[in-house]
Amino acid sequence: MNPLLVVGSVAFDTLHFHDASHPRVLGGSATYGALAASHFVPVRMVGVVGKDFPDSAVQMLKERKVDLSGLEVVDGETFHWEGRYVEDLSSRETIRTDLNVFADFRPKIPDAFQATPYVMLGNIGPDLQLEVLEQITRPKLVVADTMNLWIDIKHNELCNLLKRVDVLILNDEEARQLSGRHNLLHAGRELQAMGPRTVVIKKGEHGAMLMRDDQLPFCMPALPLESVVDPTGAGDSFAGAFLGYLARHDDITDAAMRRAVVHGSVVASFCVEGVSINRLHAASDDAITERSQTLRNLVQF
Ligand code: AMP
């Protein structure tokens, strides 16, 4: 089966909700992306953690067949992000970001990982994402995720990166911010003109929109859920599962990308049902298949 390379942050997150707080739970774009992708293919992960990173998390990732030979363990503390969600979970604010060992992180792609055909550039600075591309032989597909912070402070690096990625995945707010266009169709086209042939705009509980070449967009609603507990990592889970699905089938045609959006949405739906990675980790492959079918039925008419 085609392996997939994930590079991104590995973190402790402190999460505040209106009725509860969860200090220092496992998080990070690479963690969510790797776990989501591991439902489909073997995953190779590159990132950095401090000496405080627990063995239990390492074991949990290894049990999911995530190859951690690219995870550096260095002196110091693991990256820590703290955020607070509004009561209806529709938005969040960052309270603090402690870069810790991430401050000096320069991704080093092990020799054995350099020819990985499917690559997910999880949310880290676009300069670091570019450094990853410099170290690998031309993969079959490169998917990049980003966030508002980088659009604000590393705009030029992000524009350079976009020239070299095949698929850009971002949320509606970020798409508007980066393109300067409010209408999402216009925003998507503008982003495609910046480099990526394919743009996926996530709209949270309203689903996702896939834009490829100059075709009409493909729109998929999110699965309506009775209980949403913690949206952290939904975007990374979507991206990991989207790419994992494509890697598993070794297929990057339009039809496969549409199915990949469905699987990205399904895996993200598990992610938001539990705090941190708990529900994402516990979801069985059968449960993912069943929910994909439910989503399929939901949009059939
Ligand atoms: P998402 O909810 O998909 O946007 O991803 C949330 C994850 O992003 C959290 O687990 C954080 O640890 C991680 N994160 C937050 N800020 C940053 C940052 N500046 N760089 C890298 N990862 C971050």
Q: What is the DSSP string of 116-166?
A: -SEEEE-SS-HHHHHHHHHHS---SEEEEE--HHHHHH-HHHHHHHHTT-S
Element (H, E) at 176: helix 172-179
Backbone torsions φ then ψ of 38, nearest 5 degrees: -65, -10
**CATH number for the domain formed by residue range(s) 4-299:** 3.40.1190.20
Q: State how far the alpha carbon of 240 is from the alpha carbons of 7, 127, 273, in Å.
A: 11, 21, 17
36 contacts 45 by C-beta, under 8 angstroms = no
Distances, alpha carbon 103 to alpha carbons 37, 80, 179, 237, in Å: 26, 11, 28, 24
Going from the Cα of 96 to the center of ligand 1, the distance in angstroms, rounded, reads 11
Residue 121 is predicted with a pLDDT of 98
Q: What pLDDT score does 205 carry?
A: 86
- Phi and psi of 42, rounded to 5°? -65, 140
Contact 41, 260 (CB under 8 A): no
Of all protein residues, the one whose alpha carbon is nearest to atom 13 of ligand 1 is 28
Please state the separation of Cα 154 from the chain's center in Å.
19
Find how far residue 201's CA is from the centre of its chain. Answer: 12
Q: Give the amino acid at 61.
A: L
How much distance in Å is there from the Cα of 300 to the middle of ligand 1? 34
| Confidence at residue 6, expressed as pLDDT on a 0 to 100 scale | 98
* 271, 32 Cβ separation under 8 angstroms: yes
Query: Which mean pLDDT values do the consecutive 10-residue runs of the chain (301 residues) have?
Result: 96 97 98 98 98 97 96 98 96 95 95 97 95 96 95 96 98 96 97 98 93 95 94 96 98 97 96 97 96 93 88
The domain segmentation of the chain, as residue ranges, is 4-299
**Which ligand 1 atom is at minimum distance from the Cα of 237?**
3
Ligand 1 centroid–CA 4 distance in Å is 20
Pocket of ligand 1 (CB under 6 A): 9, 11, 13, 27-29, 81, 97, 123-124, 149, 232-236
Neighbour count for residue 19 (Cβ, 10 Å): 6
Where does residue 97 rank: exposed (0-12), middle (13-18), buried (19+ CB within 10 A)? middle
pTM as predicted: 0.97
